[in-house]
């Protein structure tokens, strides 16, 4: 038996870091939304009782460090499953990019194994398992657009933003999420207006959404990866209506409603950055499969 699931990336339209907690995490307030750049997860039943990972990308661990492996192991333990699974990961999402590629692979694995082993887990149960793998995994279980609080696991689904093109450019460097949070000094950090962003999305006010894009972590990554500022400036010059770094970065995204402008921004970045994509926001809570 084989179950296939789509694992879409996310971007953070607004990301505020409120305080450092005692457990090593930070309290956040974010607006996240899925985009139509996806990995593909294929789960195939194995005769032997083991978890095997196969990934199409280098840099992605194929052992217990893989988030999909960790998700499968947690499910096997919780439901006392003695069957094995081969998890084939076809990577499209750049790795360590601020786009939650690994988290989305874990979430898609949870959805796939729920079907393959007929576990009848509710969305809440899948989110609880996801939370044990990483802060962004519960969001990746539901997808769509949501406010995320706590360390990212407390979710309030909201309406989707109005349709537009999202151009993504990842400079040829990767950053560690833990290091970026660690280097953040909250004394002089910028704090985006998350509530105003939620309101702008509810009003379907595209230009207000563009104006309110903000990310507390951006200044930290900017100071380590100079290409982030260069790409931001370039996207603005080429006519993007709003530009921001996603998550802990270093991927930068730009928004436009015009296909011709999307093409211009995309083409002008293609020679400069190894990873450039032009995608759409995902509308609504489409079934993630």
Ligand X SMILES: Nc1ncnc2c1ncn2[C@@H]1O[C@H](COP(=O)(O)OP(=O)(O)O)[C@@H](O)[C@H]1O
Interaction site with ligand SUD (CB under 6 A)? 12, 15, 24-26, 28, 30, 98, 100, 103, 134-136, 151-152, 177-178, 181, 247-248
Q: How far is the CB of 174 from ligand SUD (least distance, A)?
A: 11
By the rule CB under 6 A, 95 interacts with ligand X: yes
Give the residue, chosen from 32, 35, 96, 110, that forms a contact with ligand X under the rule CB under 6 A: 96
- Annotation-wise, does 100 bind a ligand? yes
b/e 202-229 (16+ beta carbons within 10 angstroms → b):
eeeebeebbebbbbbbbbbbbeebebbe
- Annotation-wise, does 96 bind a ligand? yes
Active site residue 10: yes
Give the residue, chosen from 17, 30, 71, 89, that forms a contact with ligand X under the rule CB under 6 A: 89
Dihedral sign of CA atoms 228, 229, 231, 235 in order = positive
Give the residue, chosen from 44, 83, 88, 177, that forms a contact with ligand X under the rule CB under 6 A: 177
Q: Which does 197 bind (CB under 5 to 8 A by kind): ligand SUD, ligand X, none?
A: none
> Which residues face 3 on adjacent strands?
43
Q: Are 157 and 285 in contact (CB under 8 A)?
A: yes
State how far the Cα of 260 lies from the Cα of 86, in Å rounded to an integer: 42
Q: How far is the CB of 32 from ligand SUD (least distance, A)?
A: 6
Pairing between β-strand 165-170 and β-strand 145-149 as defined by DSSP bridges? unpaired
Identify the three-state secondary structure at position 14: strand
By the rule CB under 6 A, 34 interacts with ligand X: no
How would DSSP label each residue in 119-156?
----HHHHHHHHHHH-TTHHHHHH-SEEEEETTTTEEE
Binding-site residues from annotation for ATP: 94-104
Q: Which residues are catalytic?
A: 10, 136
Q: Residue numbers of the site for ligand X (CB under 6 A)?
A: 60-61, 65-68, 89, 95-103, 105, 177, 247-248
């Amino acid at each position: 038996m084989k179950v296939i699931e789509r694992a879409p990336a996310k971007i953070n339209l607004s990301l505020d870091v409120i305080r450092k907690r005692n457990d090593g995490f930070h309290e956040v307030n974010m607006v996240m939304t899925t985009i139509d750049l996806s990995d593909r997860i294929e789960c195939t039943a194995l005769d032997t009782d083991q978890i095997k990972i196969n990934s199409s990308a280098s840099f992605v661990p194929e052992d217990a460090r893989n988030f999909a492996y960790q998700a499968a192991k947690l499910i096997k333990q919780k439901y006392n499953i003695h069957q094995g699974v081969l998890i084939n990961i076809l990577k499209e999402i750049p790795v360590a990019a601020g786009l939650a590629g690994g988290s989305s692979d874990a979430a898609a694995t949870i959805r796939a194994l729920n079907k393959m082993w007929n576990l009848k887990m509710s969305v809440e149960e899948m989110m609880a398992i996801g939370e044990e793998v990483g802060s962004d995994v519960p969001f990746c279980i539901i997808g769509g657009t949501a406010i995320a609080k706590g360390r990212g696991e407390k979710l309030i689904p909201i309406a989707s933003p109005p349709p537009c093109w999202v151009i993504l450019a990842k400079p040829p460097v990767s950053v560690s999420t833990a290091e970026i949070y660690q280097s953040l000094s909250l004394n002089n950090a910028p704090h985006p207006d998350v509530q105003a962003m939620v309101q702008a999305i509810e009003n379907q006010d595209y230009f207000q959404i563009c104006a309110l894009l903000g990310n507390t972590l951006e200044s930290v990554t900017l100071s380590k990866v100079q290409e982030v500022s260069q790409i931001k400036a370039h996207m603005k010059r080429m006519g993007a209506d709003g530009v921001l770094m996603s998550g802990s970065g270093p991927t930068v995204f730009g928004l436009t409603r015009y296909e011709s402008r999307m093409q211009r921004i995309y083409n002008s970045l293609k020679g400069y950055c190894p990873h450039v994509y032009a995608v759409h926001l995902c509308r609504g809570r489409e079934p993630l499969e």
